[in-house]
């Protein structure tokens, strides 16, 4: 019996696109491979997230991610416990895995997990979902991450650009790597194109985190008189800790054509009512939002960030803004507006592009790679 431990360094939000591949792989291994034992270390949330419950229901072992104390009572209790690093080491030793998969929401988090795996001589792989020019390792972290990436069995990136940025920031040529894709939750069928008689609807299904998704950039573009006067609506689907500040900024700019729709669990339904995706991101890997929209037959307007620019052929399957800046996004949106009669046909081409780029079932492809490392 082989034992595989999944560690998610996502401790900021219960769910995000970075959780999809590792959790579905864990469920696949537990339900389809009888000779694999699966355990997961993840943050304990007030309400158990659906994907964690799914792993538990499949028979996986769930362990709480050790976190520093945040209240006086927790601080007092911590005096009688091992250090955070000691607790992490104990968890790994207790399960005694043959392989660790360390899922990183961004390229520089969870370095202590890599160090502990190295210290215990346990093989591990890193799964990196995002790298950004805005987030560099500091002097106290640089050696930790250089060793962490160098000593991993493999480093799995969701886009080549993310790997290149990480190499730049570490001053290290990462050669032990592969590019992997995330699974999507849509049917991969081209959805009927919505009517346009009442206007055109842009949509951005994404967490309300402006430093990441750049909603503020998009607001500044739409605040121009020309966009306020056109029959154009922006529908935001998502939640987040910055929802209030974004709504205040929206009102501050006098935007009447921006609508906060909340979290959407049915992405097919989103694209049955919206004409085109717009992403104003400052940083990305290869966002599920883009892959799902294109798979549903929707063109996209995106910033030239990471894997997004590899998905879009400018003027054919969408429009690319040169960067995450209002001037650049305005140019791309203006070009899109002038070509709005072609959005439907562009969406058909976008769906074909996704069939070429994304394996039909990325989870099974990834599981095969991990199983080969277990031998």
pLDDT at 265: 83
Residue 190 lies in a domain: no
pLDDT at 70: 64
| Cα torsion angle, 107, 110, 112, 118, sign | negative
Q: Is the pLDDT at 176 greater than 90, yes or no? A: yes
Q: Are residues 221 and 323 in the same domain?
A: yes
Residue 149 lies in a domain: yes
| Assigned token pair, 195 | 């009517």
Residue 188 lies in a domain: no
Residue 189 lies in a domain: no
Q: Is the pLDDT at 338 greater than 80, yes or no? A: yes
Q: Are residues 111 and 222 in the same domain?
A: no
Q: Are residues 141 and 18 in the same domain?
A: yes
Q: Are residues 125 and 239 in the same domain?
A: no
Q: Are residues 43 and 145 in the same domain?
A: yes
Q: Are residues 71 and 215 in the same domain?
A: no
How many separate domains does the chain show? Answer: 2
Residues facing 312 on adjacent strands: none
Q: Are residues 81 and 93 in the same domain?
A: yes
Residue 49 lies in a domain: yes
Helices (H) and strands (E) counted in the chain, each on its own, are 17, 13
Q: Are residues 350 and 364 in the same domain?
A: no
pLDDT band at 362 (very low <50, low <70, confident <90, very high): confident
pLDDT at 286: 85
Q: Is the pLDDT at 76 greater than 70, yes or no? A: no
Residue 191 lies in a domain: no
pLDDT at 75: 62
| Assigned token pair, 321 | 């803004």
- Residue range 27-53: average pLDDT? 91
Owning domain of residue 289: 200-357
| Cα torsion angle, 203, 205, 206, 207, sign | positive
Gap between the Cα atoms of 207 and 236, Å rounded: 9
Q: Are residues 238 and 96 in the same domain?
A: no
Average pLDDT over the chain, rounded to an integer:
91
Residue bearing the bigger pLDDT, 258 or 360: 258
Each residue's pLDDT tens digit, 278-317: 999 998 888 889 999 999 999 999 999 888 988 899 999 9
- Identify the CATH number of the domain in which residue 96 sits: 3.40.50.2000
Residue 249 lies in a domain: yes
| Closest to 106 (Cα-Cα) out of 215, 263, 246, 211 | 211
Q: Are residues 333 and 207 in the same domain?
A: yes
- Residue range 229-255: average pLDDT? 95
The backbone region for 323, taken as left when phi is positive above 0, alpha when psi lies in -120 to 50, beta otherwise, is beta
Q: Are residues 126 and 35 in the same domain?
A: yes
Beta strands 300-303 and 276-279 are parallel
Gap between the Cα atoms of 124 and 60, Å rounded: 19
pLDDT at 16: 79
pLDDT band at 69 (very low <50, low <70, confident <90, very high): low
Each residue's pLDDT tens digit, 140-168: 999 999 999 999 999 999 999 999 999 99
Residues facing 165 on adjacent strands: none
Residue 194 lies in a domain: no
Gap between the Cα atoms of 39 and 19, Å rounded: 15
Gap between the Cα atoms of 343 and 345, Å rounded: 6
Q: Are residues 24 and 117 in the same domain?
A: yes
Gap between the Cα atoms of 18 and 65, Å rounded: 17
């Amino acid at each position: 019996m082989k034992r595989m431990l999944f560690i998610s360094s996502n401790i900021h939000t219960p769910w995000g696109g970075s959780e999809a591949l590792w959790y579905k792989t864990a469920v696949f291994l537990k339900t389809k491979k009888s000779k694999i034992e699966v355990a997961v270390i993840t943050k304990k949330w007030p309400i158990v997230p659906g994907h964690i419950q799914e792993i538990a229901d499949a028979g996986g072992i769930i362990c709480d991610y050790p976190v520093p104390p945040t209240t006086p009572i927790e601080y007092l209790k911590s005096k009688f416990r091992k250090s955070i690093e000691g607790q992490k080491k104990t968890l790994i030793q207790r399960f005694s895995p043959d392989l660790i998969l360390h899922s990183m929401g961004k390229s520089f988090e969870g370095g202590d997990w890599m160090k502990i795996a190295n210290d215990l001589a346990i093989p591990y792989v890193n799964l990196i979902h995002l790298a950004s020019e805005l987030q560099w390792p500091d002097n106290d972290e640089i050696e930790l991450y250089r060793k962490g990436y160098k000593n991993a069995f493999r480093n799995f990136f969701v886009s080549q650009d993310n790997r290149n940025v990480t190499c730049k920031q570490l001053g290290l040529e990462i050669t032990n790597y592969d590019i992997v894709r995330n699974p999507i939750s849509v049917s991969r069928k081209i959805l009927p194109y919505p009517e346009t008689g009442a206007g055109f609807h842009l949509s951005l299904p994404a967490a309300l985190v402006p430093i990441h998704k750049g909603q503020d950039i998009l607001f500044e573009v739409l605040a121009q008189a020309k966009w306020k006067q056109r029959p154009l609506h922006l529908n935001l689907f998502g939640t987040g800790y910055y929802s209030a500040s974004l709504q205040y900024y929206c009102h501050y700019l006098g935007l009447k054509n921006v609508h906060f729709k909340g979290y959407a669990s049915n992405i097919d339904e989103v694209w049955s009512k919206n004409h085109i995706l717009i992403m104003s991101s400052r940083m990305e890997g290869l966002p599920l939002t883009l892959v799902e929209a294109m798979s549903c037959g929707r063109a996209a307007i995106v910033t030239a960030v990471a894997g997004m620019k590899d998905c879009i052929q400018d003027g054919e399957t969408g429009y690319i803004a040169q960067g995450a800046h209002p001037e650049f996004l305005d140019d791309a949106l203006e070009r899109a507006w002038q070509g709005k009669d072609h959005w439907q046909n562009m969406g058909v081409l976008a769906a074909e592009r996704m069939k070429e780029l994304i394996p039909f079932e990325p989870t099974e492809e990834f599981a095969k790679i991990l199983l080969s490392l277990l031998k």
